[in-house]
Homo-oligomer: A and B are copies of this chain.
Amino acid sequence: MSKQAEFAVILKMNPMFADLGADELQRISGLCHTQHLSSGEVLFQKGDPGNALFGVRRGQIRIETGATDGSRLTLNFMGPGDLFGEVAVLDGQERTADATAGEATELFVLRREDFLSFLEREPKVAIRIIQLLCQRIRWQSERMEESVLQPLPVRLARRLCALAEDFGSEVHISQEQLGVFVGAARESVNRQLQAWRKDKILDLQRGRILLHDLTRLNTIARND
């Protein structure tokens, strides 16, 4: 499979591009470049102009932010097949977090200028993008009310399920960071995890969580 075709597949998996036609995806993919990073190399920093969209071909990118106390908090891990910077490529605003390679990494790069001039030539695609952005706005405002008002166990279960989708049943994350993710104190996270361990839903190790029963976790996340 050509690089372009590979990138098209990644785009297709992202909700933002999922509904575009095969021909449009192909033409967009034709605009992409690739970029190599060695482990620890910085892709961009907070404040940099958002002048591209990235897709991970292989390796890992860590999205992190410097906290006020100097410590670094990892906000997200992007693995092969993941896409990030979809909004930045469209509006060019500053990056809101840092991105560094966690290991040797190869990226697909879609530059903002290339994508915008493509949209200008293809107004139908632009309108399609507008509709997708609108969906996202709606989706966000629904989630806004919904998610944050949920009790901690639900938020925690949702986050764990999401992480499990990316990394399988062995999630590599400290309870501290998990607390930041779900907006809760580390201790509260720990107590909930303990409870779930007693219920055989998961197991705990230092810096790592082993999900045994994703089915039950999903039930909790749904909060029927």
Answer whether A93 and B133 are a contact pair too, CB < 8 Å, given A126-B126, A140-B144: no
Count of identical protomers in the assembly: 2
Return chain B residues, CB-CB under 8 Å to A93.
134-135, 138
For residue A141, CB closer than 8 A to chain B, the reply is yes
For residue A127, CB closer than 8 A to chain B, the reply is yes
Which B residue's beta carbon lies closest to that of A130? Answer: B90
**Shortest beta-carbon distance from A73 to chain B in Å:** 13
Query: A80-91: contact bitstring with B at CB < 8 Å (1 yes, 0 no)?
Result: 000000010011
Interface size on A, residues (CB 8 A): 32
CB–CB A120/B116 < 8 A: no
Return chain B residues, CB-CB under 8 Å to A92.
131
For residue A195, CB closer than 8 A to chain B, the reply is no
CB–CB A144/B133 < 8 A: no
CB–CB A130/B131 < 8 A: no
Answer whether A127 and B127 are a contact pair too, CB < 8 Å, given A87-B137, A93-B135, A138-B87: no
CB–CB A90/B131 < 8 A: yes
Which A residues between 102 and 131 are near B, CB-CB below 8 angstroms? 116, 119-124, 126-127, 129-131
CB–CB B130/A133 < 8 A: yes
